[in-house]
Structure 1
């Protein structure tokens, strides 16, 4: 299976190439093409991964690859590329975020449904071992009364504000509440600005949810932090991603491509974008 990557300025591109090419974690699956032309960055990545095909535009990957990974740092660039590939029957993984508006996210989801082409999109933080283990533990709780997730994010980021890093926090919270991807409808949503922080609160099912987006300019690049509480217990986790935090991402994308796991539910794809949009656009 030949994989193409767009958005190679993102450090995630290096990880994907290392996992699939240098380490050969999935025999028969390799990154074989990069878009963005013969830039210094692409030439370095090509050398590291033994990649021969460098094309100028994302569209030029068509016919050169069997699937694509879209990983531009600015999520506003993702929908147009994803829709193009999906309309042309190319299985697509959109690195976080799927889009930077709920309307655009719906357009991508409709394109996948229209063509019947596999689509996957999620934050890598959903599936790091500490989050997965905590979600499994919480399944045994009768009630979850509170979920709080905090992490670095800036409303002023040049890469579409909170969408760039804040979506990690939102997706962690959603994974803890519904690891099966069930529909989650937030109520009583409120967004407030505090010194160095934007805070989103909502009620989701029976749970009070709070997501704290901490400005790196004020707090530094803080680790992701989780606090959960329920009748059966209380848990706290601090998450600092290691060099292999994208390994589960690659595994899940390949599982979708091979049909080993079903496509993500529409709710799982749209809910993170909807919540970040509310937080980003709050006045």
Structure 2
């Protein structure tokens, strides 16, 4: 049995509740609803027959608020609530850092990287390129680190990849979602890069404003992605792809499916003792996300990658 320690949580991000439920096969609707995440309990209820990951268990939980850790433990039937982050070292086989506040990831992850404990870090891994270089150095030294947006494992994106060649040469992608670039831009970039088999893009330019994040991604000299994250719109994530022969629209709705597949890939990686996701793909995504923020800070200057 792989014993997993969960690090959580950041404001508005329910992954420690949902991912613990997906792995342990247990959840408490009242705890999740009282925490403010009824949509999570809804999709767990709808998929309760498929909950649980064979050979893995979330056994430990740490949060910077002990009462939140206790709530997650009650919901997911996690045996141990630890007072200090480092208390999990020597007690677990792997860590999931289930927070989406990238400015805190490095401080939270470093003790486990130093201890050579495999870790999955929730999206986005970093928005600071110096930290990205530091993570890469751990990879070069043989540490196990995996990080991505679960959008990479979206059932809708994977289905579209199987037919994308029929579109012919692709010239444009429009990508639409909600919330802000710092936390959710990685979703849009991960979906785009994964769909196109992770090309190295040429440049990034920020064209929006606060609440209306608009980013132009030059994938090559004949293909662009226009990415839009609007804070106050409703709807799901959508990707439209326009090729010389045809076009397709991808409506990404099934959050549970992508979370489950992401977790299964992490557990498979643990069993193989090597991430199934090449870190260079993660690096590529994070460089784009960070470059867009740099462009924003430089009043929309085009950033070459």
TM interval, short-chain normalised: 0.7 to 0.9
Alpha-carbon displacement from aligned partner over 1:4-51 (angstroms, at most 9, x marks no partner): 011235311111111111266322200000112772222122122222
**Does 1:165 pair with 2:188?**
no
Distance 1:232 1:82, change over 3 A: farther
Aligned partners of 1:141 and 1:230 also within 8 Å: yes
For the pair 1:42 / 2:45, whether they are aligned, the reply is no
Q: Structure 2 stretches of 5 or more lacking a match?
A: 27-50, 300-305
Matching residue within 201, 204, 212 for 2:216: 201
Aligned to 1:63: 90
Count, aligned residues: 268
Match of 2:136 in 1: 109
* Structure 1 counterpart of 2:56, from 10, 21, 29: 29
Matched, 1:153 2:179: yes
Pair 1:266 & 2:279 matched = yes
Are the structure 2 counterparts of residues 98 and 229 from structure 1 closer, same or farther at C-alpha, using a change threshold of 3 Å? same
Which stretches of structure 1, 4 residues or more, deviate above 6 A after TM superposition? Answer: none
**Which of residues 166, 175, 186 in structure 1 aligns to 2:194?**
175
Structure 1: gaps spanning 5 or more residues: 155-161
Q: Under a length normalisation based on structure 1, what TM-score does the superposition of the two structures give? A: 0.86
- Alignment root-mean-square deviation, CA: 2.2
Give 2:250's aligned residue. Answer: 237
Residue deviations 1:195-251 (CA, integer Å, cap 9, x gap) = 9522111221342111112122xx2x4321111011231001222234444101101
| 1:62 Cα offset (Å) | 0.6
Is the aligned partner of 1:131 residue 2:175? no
Conserved in 2, the CA contact under 8 Å of 1:148 and 1:210? yes
Residues 196, 100 of structure 1: alpha-carbon distance in 2 compared, 3 angstrom cutoff: closer
TM-score of the superposition, structure 2-length normalised? 0.80
CA distance in 1, matches of 2:264, 2:277: 14
Distance 1:208 1:17 in 2: 38
Cα distance in 1, alignment partners of residues 127 and 217 from structure 2:
20
Instruction: Report SS of the residue matched to 2:207.
Output: strand
